[in-house]
Structure 1
């Protein structure tokens, strides 16, 4: 493990990298004793600074939900990050690509809770009962550290969360089979990726249950009203300036976002 002073220095370095849009050396190289518990502590310090600067915490994102991504990162479980109100943008937004380092987009479903969820031992049905509605989403991921990254680098870097776009049709969880939501992701009119939501741990709500159980281990819980990104069911697609992205979720509608 690393010291509290080192954790604070690491969080400050990440925040500066985010501000400057300039990746820093991997924290795992700067701090060879960095452990996963340190990485989440660094992430929490970053979140606290964002709140102190006026942002409001609105939820969480879950990453590494596919087995392939876990194996690539030498992990046996997902990771998670925080979401603030200034990270959430509406369908049809035009984002400035210079706000990011190397932005990429992923297709996801977002869950909005209507009731608190306390772990441990949460299951899919617990999540569905507590969910007020589900809405299509795109996550903008971006890294503030150089490659290659250890899992501790990714976790400390807020699980690469940069922004999210919400839109399409709002649905109640019992009104559809959440496992079989299909979507395509098009870049400048060309379909680059497609997928189905069952690719997220077999069921997107399984990721939410995992998160609730993970938070319970550190004395936290999922709160009513929180916005929860359940994990990507496509590979990420890179974007540049003058790029238009369109995600089609079929019966759940579509989302569009442009980058200038």
Structure 2
């Protein structure tokens, strides 16, 4: 395990890349021996530094939940990151494209917790009991390292994504909140329109078979670090559409059927 000074130095470099909108080299290429544990330690240090500067933890996200993405990266489980207060945007927002380096947008469901969730042994049913509302969400992911390394032509790895706080950048909650028992979440779907064209469609069953499964996985994973998913937190369950590149001028309309719609635009 790298020492605390090394972890802090890497976290500061990621923070600098985010603040200046200038990507740094992929950690998996500049430090090929970096471990999963070290990547999570970098993420944790970065989040703690942001909180020391005034940010507030508002929840968590689960990433890489689709079978296709896990196969591509050679992994067999998702990853996770932390949601901070300055990441939350309002429905209908005019979002400055220049706020990000290389933004992509995904369609998800968000779980708003009524009571804490703590592993080990957390199940899908525990998640449903602890959830007050489920709402549609758009997640904007960004990358503080290039998605393709210019020197080797190789893509990012799970190590890069974890250290980069799972690509967290921004999110929008909208539509119509529902109680968990009001809908079969597996069949909750969305049509993602960009500039009037349907670019993606998907069902929430694409997230580990049921979106609540990922929340239970996260509660159990965090238990090893003494972390609980707290009442009032938002948890993004994972994308069920392909991530789309966003450009200035793009207008987004995500139609979740009975759960309503979310609009935003990039300026």
Q: Normalising by structure 2, what TM-score?
A: 0.96
Aligned to 1:222: 229
Q: Is 1:167 equivalent to 2:174 in the alignment? A: yes
* RMSD of aligned alpha carbons: 0.8
Partner of 1:54: helix, strand, or coil? coil
Aligned to 1:190: 197
Change in Cα spacing, 1:32 to 1:4, as seen in structure 2 (3 Å) is farther
Structure 1 gap segments, 5+ residues each: none
Is the CA contact (8 Å cut-off) linking 1:2 and 1:33 kept in structure 2? no
Counterparts of 1:126 and 1:154, CA distance in 2: 28
Counterparts of 2:32 and 2:156, CA distance in 1: 13
Partner of 1:213: helix, strand, or coil? helix
Counterparts of 1:158 and 1:74, CA distance in 2: 19
Partner of 1:8: helix, strand, or coil? helix
Aligned to 2:265: 258
Aligned to 1:111: 111
Aligned residues: 260
Q: Is 1:59 equivalent to 2:72 in the alignment? A: no
Partner of 1:145: helix, strand, or coil? coil
Q: Normalising by structure 1, what TM-score?
A: 0.98
Aligned to 2:152: none
Partner of 1:221: helix, strand, or coil? coil
Aligned to 2:13: 13
Structure 2 gap segments, 5+ residues each: 149-154
Q: Is 1:31 equivalent to 2:38 in the alignment? A: no
Partner of 2:45: helix, strand, or coil? helix
Partner of 1:120: helix, strand, or coil? coil
Aligned to 1:86: 86
> For structure 1, which segment, 73-82 or 23-32, has the greater mean C-alpha deviation from structure 2 after superposition?
23-32
Q: Is 1:157 equivalent to 2:168 in the alignment? A: no
Note the C-alpha offset of 1:33. 2.2
Is the CA contact (8 Å cut-off) linking 1:104 and 1:239 kept in structure 2? yes
Counterparts of 1:26 and 1:161, CA distance in 2: 16
Give runs of ≥4 in structure 1 deviating > 3 Å: none
Counterparts of 2:236 and 2:130, CA distance in 1: 15
Aligned to 1:206: 213
